[in-house]
Amino acid sequence: MAAPNAQLPPGWVAQWDATHQRHLFIETASGRSQWEHPLQTNSPPLDLLSQSPPPDNASAHHATHTKRRQYAAGQTQAYYGTTEAAGFADAAYGAGAGAAPAQQPGQLFTPGLAAESQFASQQGQPPAAQGGYFQGAEPDYPAPAAYAQPPYVGQQPQAAPQIGQLADQFGQMGINPAAGYSQKPFALYTTNLLTAAPDPRELSRPPPEIRLPPNACISNSPFANCDPSYQRSTLNAIPANNSILSKSKLPFALVITPYRSIQEGDDAVPLVTDTVIARCRRCRSYINPYCQFIDGGNRWKCVLCNYSNETPQLFDWDQTRNVAADRWARAELNHAVVEYVAPTEYMVRPPQPPYYTFLIDVSQAAVQSGMVATATRTILESLDRIPNADDRTKVAIIGFDTALYFFSIAPGAAESTMLVVSDVDDVFLPKPTDLLVNLTEARAGLENLLSRLGEMFQNTHTVGSALGPALQAAFKMISAIGGKIIVLSSSLPSIGTGALKVREDPKVLGTSKESALLQPASNFYKTFAIDCSRSQVSVDMFLFSSGYTDVATLSCLPHYTSGSTFFYPAFNASRSEDAIKFAHEFSEILASPIMLEAVIRVRATKGLRMSGFHGNFFVRSTDLLAMPAVPLDQSYAIEIAIDDPINSSFAVLQTAVLHSTSSGERRIRVLTLALPVTSNISEVFASADQIAIATFLANKAVERSLSSKLEDARDAITNKLTEILGTYKSTMTAAGAGASAQLAVCENLKMLPVLCLGLLKHVGIRQSSQIPSDLRAYAQTLLTTLPSQMLIPYIYPAFYSLHNMPPEAGTIGERGIIMPPSLPPTSERLERHGLFVIEDGQTIFLWVGRDAVPQLVMDVFNLPSYEQLRGGKMTLPLLDNPFSQRVNAIISKIREMRRGPYWPHLYVVKEDGEPPLRLWALSNLIQDRADQLPSYQQYINTVKEKINIGGYT
């Protein structure tokens, strides 16, 4: 090829390889090489591994030119990021993303790499794998394709010579030959936590790569294994038996978000509409990309139980066009996440229409706070967004204070009639019809009622709440069909069934008795919730109060009916920020598509058993979860036990969700996750997913705090971390069981200690006598329901510097607004003249240093000086200058970049401002010492001491 460099795209160079007498093309930013000309081939995305490794001598020749350790092709790029991303790194933060990590003296040794020449290679940084989960949050580490697997699932990726030598060494350390394990195993990289500071950018990296055996999958689709945003495991290599799992001390669990929202750029879930559903006759699992066809394709072998099933006759037939179809193009054989339109045999009754019953507190507290006016206006403006396919949706509105107020609307009428029931001890419906009305037919009457409801009660002086009787009335109204009850309450229930008393005692807070305040105070709400679940009724709670609300008791309703809880302490709609937050979150819930009368079951390869369940649902039988309505972006954690040894080379975990859509279809959503099986404990450690583990530990901590004490929950977190690190030290390092001056952990778990510290310092768990029980109870509901993408920043807040951010930050890039680089959440990064953002997904703090220059204050707040700035909740002005526009863009991006309905408040915090607000903001810098809580360095030193004295055994 003549003058190849002149014909190359930017960023590529050509090197002549004398051995093969051809050009080798190298991407200078990443060191990635290929034999094909970049313009003559469709190169795979940077996060996909190359399919054709060059010969060994070519790799060696390549290595001499790059002057950088070579990883498998494509992995270097995924690890270091693109050239542009590397430029985003703040000079004050440290080395840029493109800088290779420096060799640390006295690094730890992993058995199995005894040769002197191999020790240095062992200490290198691990390659990155699939695309990242926190898309858009980190410009430093772009994630082009959402968790794309290599084009041939299970195919061995290219490995440079050093990685191959590592893999060969690990191959001699006990890979399960009986399981047919022929692919290269994970390489284990050890780091010293005492010298490796936490890097928040590590949390935007993908989970450890899933390395399946060759030919495990019948499809070469990149979507053949489950996207971690739907379903992820704490271990991406399953131990072959319970002995190995117990020895590792690692938890084995699934984190499932079956209905995560679809954002811009996401692929929709494929829909199979021909009602041809192939299921195993023995274990009832669904056909998937990991089954095997036998007998000429007339039968298929179940990958879970190995039973041979007949292939459905219409499996290869296109019923729409009435012609033969390509079997290999079917969605269920190419996609791990797929949805079926279910035939009539999956229906006990016709799919229910969406029914919404609004219970609106109209007491004096609710009216004066502006909750009633804001709620009714939001419902009115959301009528067109409420799911109403085929005009099937029905709506009812019930007001309550010390009495119940029903509103009757005749079809087509523009006026409503209010019917009052004062006897709350014996609840009845005052009219058999026209209380639950068709949204389309009664649209005029509903609009008129919603526009006047606030005025009807604007002069009320009634104090008290008959929430329990109101719930009973709503249940009577919709229990025959099912639906949603949406409660908006501004005061503690005080009248009739379910009445509660103020039980919070400041003397109990921070003591061993505090856990009692987090338990339900009345059995009515749990019993009522279970009745609702059986009748396919889900309850959402929106709680507003300037005083005690007993969130712990009222949140029982959403917990057992798969609903959601929202809490707005000290709500006052006269503050526009409060009104905007509630209106946004309420309208998002109203507009969400709802999955009704759902049941979830997780099936797994023989030998695996679902042993524990965490989340908002009711366990109907040993492994069947009942959900009257499945919300978007709500997460569930399921513990897995290994009862019998697994003899296959890989295992499959399949979640099936049978539900009715709001459009009246019965559907089945199937999530299939295939994971390799190993008898090598080093592979178990190398495959551990720290984000999934932290999500699971959050659920376990909340469970422990409710069943025992908060102190026990905190101890359980530290004990589990100590067990994991102690086991790693004794089995994976040369120190063994003896004392060590270092704290060893595998590279893929190096952020787990700081995530555990974040849990210990979280409002829902931490030791404090200043946290009201309502705030703690609400925080615990979020810890057990948020998906990983939202939970991780909730326990490990994001921290950005704005005053010296790169020029690209706050501007529009290829994937939207470019965010500044993340900083470790520690006050060491604060500067007196700086402007910083601290955010956890629920609250945004804009920290202003006391020496901030007047021009910065003017550009951001339109004020002449720092002294005139007032701290507190506010809306940031959008001014006519570039810096203001960039800061506003970043705040908007923070509110939009994660899934979920939440709209975080913005608080401006002055460095010398009000102490409570200042301390609240600083409590999010979790790597610092605060009150009785240790700093990160103190915490890991404590863990190290426990390990050295054998305190983890």
Mean pLDDT for the stretch of residues 378-394: 94
Tell me how far apart the alpha carbons of residues 372 and 544 are, in angstroms, rounded to a whole number.
11
Cα→Cα distances 120→117, 163, 190, Å: 7, 12, 12
| Cβ contact 883:860 at 8 Å | yes
Task: Note the pLDDT tens digit of each residue in 890-924.
Answer: 999 999 999 999 999 999 999 999 999 999 999 99
What phi and psi, each to the nearest 5 degrees, are found at residue 773? -65, -30
Residue type, 308: S
Residue 518 has pLDDT above 90, yes or no: yes
158-167, 216-225, 593-602: least confidently modelled range:
158-167
DSSP string, 570-635: T--TTSHHHHHHHHHHHHHHHHS--EEEEEEEEEESTTEEEEEEESSSEE-SSSEEEEEEE-TT--
The SS3 assignment for 890 reads: helix
With the CA atoms of 673, 675, 681 and 683 taken in that order, what torsion angle do they form, in degrees rounded to the nearest 10? -110
pLDDT over threshold 50, residue 520? yes
**740 Cβ contact list (under 8 Å, min separation 6):** 729, 733, 944, 947, 948
- Which domains are present in the chain? 1-35 (2.20.70), 231-348+596-688 (2.60.40.1670), 355-593 (3.40.50.410), 797-925 (3.40.20.10)
Taking a C-beta distance cutoff of 8 angstroms, is the pair 188, 691 a contact? no
CB 97 within 8 A of CB 85: yes
Instruction: State whether residue 266 is helix, strand or coil.
Output: coil
The highest-confidence range among 345-349, 392-396, 592-596, 662-666, by mean pLDDT, is 392-396
Residue 690 has pLDDT above 60, yes or no: yes
Tokens representing 197 are 């500071």
Distance from C-alpha of 241 to C-alpha of 642, rounded to nearest angstrom:
6
| Nearest alpha-carbon partner for 404 in 478, 479, 482, 497 | 497
- In this prediction, residues 141-164 reach a mean pLDDT of 35
> What predicted TM-score, i.e. pTM, was given to this entire model?
0.81
Q: 763-766 long-range CB contacts below 8 Å, 24 or more apart?
A: 764/701, 764/702, 764/705, 765/701, 765/702, 765/705, 765/710, 765/713, 765/714, 765/717, 766/714, 766/933
pLDDT score of 55 more than 80: no
Which range, of 154-158, 218-222, 462-466, averages the lowest pLDDT?
A: 154-158
| Average pLDDT of the residues in 218-239 | 96
**Contact criterion met (CB below 8 Å) for 186 and 300:** no
As given in the structure block, the two tokens for residue 637 are: 């954690």
Res 57 pLDDT > 50: no
pLDDT for position 28: 67
Percent of the chain at pLDDT > 90 equals 71
Cα(141)–Cα(134) distance, rounded to whole angstroms? Answer: 10
Is the pLDDT score of 738 beyond 80? no
Q: Are the beta carbons of 91 and 801 closer than 8 angstroms? A: no
pLDDT score recorded for residue 6: 58
SS3 content of the chain, % helix, strand, coil (to 5): 30, 20, 50
The helix (run of H) or strand (run of E) holding residue 752 is helix 752-760
Contact status, residue 183 vs residue 738, Cβ threshold 8 Å: no
Q: What is the pLDDT of residue 64?
A: 36
| pLDDT-derived band at 40, boundaries 50, 70, 90 | low
Residue 187 corresponds to which tokens in the numbers above? 């390489």
pLDDT band for position 736 (cuts 50, 70, 90): confident
186, 166 Cβ separation under 8 angstroms: no
166 has pLDDT over 60: no
pLDDT > 70 fraction of the chain, expressed in percent and rounded: 82
**Angstrom distances, CA of residue 754 to CA of 363, 682, 694, 846:** 45, 22, 10, 23
